[in-house]
Amino acid sequence: MTFPRRAGRVAGGLMLILACLLLAVYFPEVTYHSRTLARLHDFAHLPLFCMVALIMVAIWPGNLFAQNRLRPLPALRLWLAALLAGILVELLQARQGRIPEMMDIVTDGAGAAIALLLATGHRGGHWRWMLPPVLIVVLVFATPVLLSAWDEELARRQFPLLADFETRLQTDRFGPSHSRLRRIIDPESPTNHLLEVRFLPDMFPRFKLRDLPRDWSQFSAFTFTCINPESEPFFLIFRVDDIHHDNRPADRYTLRVNLAPGRHVIEVPLAAVASAPDTRPMDMTAIAGVILYGYKLEKPRVLLFDDFRLVP
């Protein structure tokens, strides 16, 4: 039996859409060692759902166009169908234990909108009117990728300084969990900037350094400045682990410091880090993470940080 031409095109289009959505659902969740790659992963929703929506345009039942222009109501229905497909992807990912991301759905919708603009430009020959808004949307969603790439290059040039907060993007080198980060002016030195960390009430509110250089074997210490601006002490936990860490507390380095009010320079000897695991030496060529914790906080607490660096 031979399918009519239209039915064959619709069937082929639906199979392509299904393949795109399955790719989005089952693409492996990767922990990137680069913020740029992680942001590029997020940006990929834009071209993927642009492709999905373009296939929808090709197989959509009824007439999407009138006099080479999109009909508003059918175009809105198509866009909503693409958006619902994006929501479905996030829900299916959630069933696999992944966290649904609202920004991914927004990016999916933007990709579908780009597809409608491209289809209008192709159908009516209005490229000079359609391309500027398409490029603007792409640039808006590509901006986090470009900024991360710029800051990663700056971080490579600054190494072994890991962060001094003299540029705004350096706050993105840190990832909060049950805490909030912002860059502020040093109250004691208006030309200097600090990272303010507001630890929220939780058992272990924390933040971590992202994109760390893995090889610490040529350095002797890890240092940073910490300011407790409040009137009561703060119990701070500093943790280092490598890629072989088995998630046991005894298999990592942990420093506990009861910070009195005021400014402190904390120096961590890397010889102590190397010998910290109970059954093996720390692999100093494969450091995976640095995390700083509060402990059993019943109210929000604030610490200020500056000058994270490795010392030769």
Closest by CA position to 45, among listed 98, 90, 95, 81 = 90
307 phi and psi, to 5 degrees?
Answer: 50, 60
211-240 pLDDT tens trace? 788 889 999 999 999 999 999 999 999 999
What single string gives the DSSP state of each residue in 13-71? HHHHHHHHHHHHHHSPP---S-HHHHHHHHHTHHHHHHHHHHHHHHH-SS--EETTEE-
173 has a pLDDT exceeding 60: yes
Q: Lowest mean pLDDT: which of 3-17, 20-34, 251-265? A: 3-17
Q: Which two tokens stand for residue 299?
A: 């109210």
Quickly list DSSP for 259-272: E-SEEEEEEEEHHH
Q: What is the pTM of this model?
A: 0.74
Domains and CATH numbers, the chain: 5-155 (no CATH), 162-311 (2.60.120.430)
Under 8 Å between Cβ of 211 and 34: yes
90-99, 134-143, 181-190, 303-312: segment of lowest average pLDDT: 90-99
Average pLDDT (283-304) is: 92
Average pLDDT over residues 109-125: 83
Judged against a pLDDT cut of 60, whether residue 30 lies above it is answered with: no
pLDDT at 228: 95
Q: 4 pLDDT exceeds 90? A: no
